[in-house]
Every structure is written in structure tokens, then in C-alpha cells.
Amino acid sequence: MGQKVVIIGGVAAGPKAACRLKRLDPSADAIIVEQDRFISYGGCGIPFYISDDIPNEKELMSTSFHVIRDEKFFLEGKGVKVLTRTRALNINRSEKKVEIENLDTGEKDFLEYDKLVLATGSIPNVLPIPGSDLGNVFTVSNINSALKLKSMITRGKVEKAVIIGGGAIGIEMAEAISDMWEIDTTIVEYMDHLLPFMFDYNFAQMVKAELEKNDVKVYVGERVESLEGDSQGNVRKVITNNRTLDTDLVIMCVGVRPNDELAKKAGLAVGDKGGILVDKHLCTSDPSIYAGGDCILNTNLLTGKRMYLPLGSLANRHGRVIGSNLAGKPETFDEVVGSFIIKVFDICAGSAGLSLESALTERINADRVLTVGYDRAHYYPTRSLLYLQLVVDKQTRRILGFQAIGDNNDAVSVRLDSIVALMQGNFTVDKVSNLEIAYSPPYASAMDSLNALGNTAANFLDGLYKRMEVKEFLDIIGDLKKHNAIILDSNAEIAAKPYVEKFGDSWLNIPYMDVRRNIEKIPRDKKIITICDSGIRSYEIQLLLNSHGYEDVICLEGGLNLINKMGIKIV
């Protein structure tokens, strides 16, 4: 028998490490210890199990060739022994053994190891507020809570639900329960917009609008202060700093934290705010102990700093790298940029790298541009609008972050994953302009919307493109006269009509094709805000006016399409 390897944690990184190890070093004795009954399941599929897109939980636990990934599967298929319902209590590093407890029998034992892997995952946060221990208050932590939640929902006992936390899981759960089960659903988010850290305001607002369009109520910038229950001890009310919400169910989606208790007790190095520290080989401060998955800190490629990024995709890749290293085949795990994607009813939203807010928090001299364009040739029947944003370093022009929203399946992934790949080379926005997005009318534009985003970023950094943000526009639109500003709308007359009716001579409509001939109609003593549907024609007109000596000209970014997508009505 070869080396003894003990792996603590049986969901993602752990099994991956064990199986890769056994493939490279079949003589190894690999044993996985997992406190739960279930192992190696697709935890990220839980919202889709709740929504019944995936009717049976077994599917989350099966291989692509329909075999349940249980103890038998790992033993007979992979040659890996798994102890479920077994908790690792302590690591004795000097004697290289792990104390374990069988949770069914209470029996304790020791496992000796040559190498140890910590894949202990994360722990869902629970708000420290009164009532958080009431009945029917859930976290989306594992398959057990998912089974309980779905059973409650399918019994038709839930009319109203409140989701605390408007991050990815909160939003996925909101869609799952409101769409399929027609539950009156409310999201309460403490930060001032949904999906903080992943999205800046405009994109978060588009997600909020999509949720609201689908009858999910969303309150942002609101703090949940307590939960109140009924006489059976089940939650009935959610009390925030602004309102009281009746409810039959609360799902707390307020983030997770690394489960690093064992590591800490064993004296391994962890980050200031938790999370096991590992080197490039995913080795901890003890050369015999590796760690991967949601219990470790990754290093951010863009900031060079450690960050906590609990993603199933990273966990799987960690597992493979650990497996290789265990087998004596040195492999490294590079810095990460953090890529994120979410389905929200009929839209897809994705991001990578730093949001502008995050970049500014890191004191990077950053800014951002936003474009609206089609995801395929504008004449191709299935085309749909894509909203894209690039966050850039103003000094170096380096790509720092990306955000995208679109309607067509995978159209966001195309641009998002391409930018993630470009980030690996530390490229600048200029590389985005000429990236060879494969072109055919059913899939992209000849000048793809991603290229156009690069062009816009370059124009912005070069001082050609002067942009007004939506927030600023909404501030000014209420009293254009006070700001001595007028709107110059280059849309067609018919599209502009309701705006002209509402805003009168503060809304000057000169269709795009007529502007060059009518320059003299545009006042020289006012601030000019150029607008169109998307921000493309209005940019051209901003430049045209600049070339005619107009200095105070600014272009509304994203145009009326963006405003509409953000759910804002100005007429």
C-alpha cells in the first residue's frame, strides 16, 4: 500500500482531490471523511431543485452517466473510501493523525495520514437578530436544508416568503419559489443595491427591475432587525428598519464564511478574517496539509491580495490541483479574477474582476464605461440587446472588471468568459477593441458588442467620449431649466414625441440624419445632453458639436434603452 491520504470534506474539492490522486497514484490509500450523509453533490443546483427545473434531488447527486455518487460509487468506481456521518474533531499534526467521530454511534477513532487535505467548505451566516432561530427560517447550506425547504413548499403551506440578502443565492431562491410555486416573495438587502461587490449600481438596478417585473418585491438599503414567530414557534413577521413584512418562510442568504475551525485549532495559518492560507500549490503552512474549496483564501489577480471567493467552480479546480500535488506531480493554482453569472427570470447577468466600487475601495484610479448593443448581427432575427460594462485603470488602461446583462441564453457568457481569458494576460482595453470574437450573423456582429465596448473605453480614456451617468441624468431631468441644460434627442420624431410633449423646449428632437444640417438650431448658451436609444449616435453628435465649438456637451450613457432596462420611467 502506498501513501495514506485523509481528506476532510466530501462535497467538491475533497472528492476531486481524492479521485485525481487515485488516477495518478493508484497505490495511494485515499479516505474521505464527511459529516453529512450526502457527498459529492451539485450544491449550486439547489435553487433549480427548489424551482423544480430539476425535479429529483438524486440528479444533483448523480454522475452524467446516471450513477449516484455515494460511498459505493467512490469505493467501487474510484477506489476511494468514504466515511459519511463522520466528523473530524482534531488534527494531531505532530503524530499526523486525525481524530474522528461517528455521528450515528458516537464512536471515536483516529485516522493516520501521510498527507491531509482540508476541504471543509463554508458555513452560511445567520444574522444575529432576535428570532433567527425560529421555525421555517432556512439557510441554503446543503442538500438537507434543501430537502426540508422543498418539502415545505410542495405541501403548499407557503403563501408568502421573505428572503434576507440580495446576493446570488437570494436572487436564485427568489426566482425559484416565486416563479414555480407562485409564492409572494420579497427580498430585503442591507446594502444600497443588489449583488453588491459583483455589480455596480446600473447593473444591479437592471436585475432589480427584472425581479420586480416578475412580481418579486425588492427592498434595498434596508436592515432586518428581528423576526417574530407564532405560538408554534414558526416565523410570521420580518421587521426591518422601514417596515413589517408578513411571511410564512424566511430564507437567510447573507453570505457564507470559511469553515476553518479545524485548521485554526491545529495552528495552521489563516487570514485575519478567516480562511485558510495556502501557497501556489494549495499547501497550507504545514507541508503535509493541503487545503482547497470554500475554506481557503484565493489570491486576486487584479489586486494581488488574498480574497474570499467561495465558488463551486474554483473548489473543483482546487481539488484537481491538490490531487496532482499529492501524487507528486507539482501543479499550481493561479491567481483568480472571480467570475460570476446568474439567471434572473428572462435575463442573464454576469461579472468578473473588480466592480468600480471595489476598485475605488482598493484605491485604484479606475473608471468604467457602459455600452448597449446587439448580441448578434442587428439584422438577424434572434438578436437581443446586451448591456456591457468595462472597469478600467485610467492610468494603465488595464482591464479591471466586466459586467454584462442580456436576454439570450449564453450571450452574456460569450463576452464574460472572453474577458476573463483576456484578463489572464493583463491586457488593456485596446486589446478588447480588436478581439476576434468569431463572427457569423447568428452569433455576433462584425464589430461585436464586446469590441464596441473596447472602442468606447478607448474613446473615454482618450477624452473623446464625455459621458453622463444615469444617476446624474435622473437628478438633472427634473429641472433642466435650473441646470441651464437641454436634451438633444437624435431619435426619430415618433420615438421622441412623448418626451417633447412632457419636457417642452427643454427636449430638442433633431433626428440623427438632420443634425448636421441644423447645427444652428442648437443653443450655444446651454449645457447639451445628447441622447439616443443606445448612446452610439449621441456620442457621434457629442463629437460633432464639439467640432463646432460647443464645449459643454455630454452624452447620456446607454441611452433610453438603459433607462428602460433599469425600470425607470421618465415619460
Q: Where are the beta strands (DSSP E) in 376-513?
A: 385-393, 399-406, 467-468, 485-489, 507-509
Residues ≥6 apart with Cβ < 8 Å to 83: 31, 32, 33, 34, 100, 102
Binding residues for a second copy restricted to 165-204, rule: CB under 8 A: 168, 172
Based on the residue annotation, tell me whether 295 is a catalytic residue of this protein.
no
Identified binder of a second copy from the candidate list 97, 150, 236, 320, rule CB under 8 A: 320
Choices 103-111, 114-122, 336-344, 363-371; region in contact with a second copy by CB under 8 A? 336-344
Distance separating alpha carbons of residues 203 and 193, to the nearest angstrom: 9
H or E element, residue 478: none
Cβ of residue 229: shortest distance to a second copy, in angstroms?
A: 34
Binding residues for a second copy restricted to 427-456, rule: CB under 8 A: 427, 430-431, 433-444, 446-448, 451, 455
Distance separating alpha carbons of residues 312 and 294, to the nearest angstrom: 8
Does residue number 333 form part of the binding site for a second copy (CB under 8 A)?
yes
Identified binder of a second copy from the candidate list 3, 4, 35, 44, rule CB under 8 A: 44
Cβ proximity to a second copy: between 201 and 439 the closer is 439
Identified binder of a second copy from the candidate list 209, 311, 347, 555, rule CB under 8 A: 311
Q: Which of 19, 44, 295, 555 is catalytic?
A: 44
- CA torsion angle 29 123 255 232 (round to 10): 140
- Terminal-to-terminal C-alpha distance of the chain: 76
Does residue number 514 form part of the binding site for a second copy (CB under 8 A)?
yes
Binding residues for a second copy restricted to 390-419, rule: CB under 8 A: 408-411, 413-419
Binding residues for a second copy restricted to 1-20, rule: CB under 8 A: 12, 16
Cβ proximity to a second copy: between 201 and 380 the closer is 380
**367 in Cβ contact with 359 (< 8 Å):** no
Q: Using CB under 8 A as the criterion, what x/- string covers residues 450-489 for binding a second copy?
A: -x---x------x-x-------------------------
Binding residues for a second copy restricted to 68-87, rule: CB under 8 A: 72-73, 76-77, 79
Does residue number 60 form part of the binding site for a second copy (CB under 8 A)?
yes
From the list 427, 361, 425, 335, the residue with the least C-alpha distance to 390 is: 427
Binding residues for a second copy restricted to 135-164, rule: CB under 8 A: none
Cβ proximity to a second copy: between 240 and 325 the closer is 325
Identified binder of a second copy from the candidate list 163, 314, 453, 457, rule CB under 8 A: 314
Does residue number 343 form part of the binding site for a second copy (CB under 8 A)?
yes
Distance separating alpha carbons of residues 487 and 482, to the nearest angstrom: 13
Cβ of residue 64: shortest distance to a second copy, in angstroms?
A: 4
Residues ≥6 apart with Cβ < 8 Å to 51: 175, 176, 177, 179, 180, 181
Query: Quick one: residue 267, left, alpha or beta (phi over 0 = left, psi -120 to 50 = alpha)?
Result: left
Distance separating alpha carbons of residues 54 and 47, to the nearest angstrom: 9
**Count of residues interacting with a second copy (CB under 8 A):** 111
| Angle formed at CA 451 by CA 446 and CA 452, multiple of 5 degrees | 95
Q: How many CB atoms lie within 10 A of CB 160?
A: 15
Distance separating alpha carbons of residues 482 and 505, to the nearest angstrom: 14
Cβ proximity to a second copy: between 201 and 345 the closer is 345
**336 in Cβ contact with 298 (< 8 Å):** yes
Cβ of residue 195: shortest distance to a second copy, in angstroms?
A: 13
Identified binder of a second copy from the candidate list 161, 377, 485, 554, rule CB under 8 A: 377
Does residue number 497 form part of the binding site for a second copy (CB under 8 A)?
no
Cβ of residue 206: shortest distance to a second copy, in angstroms?
A: 17
Please give the positions annotated as active site.
Answer: 44
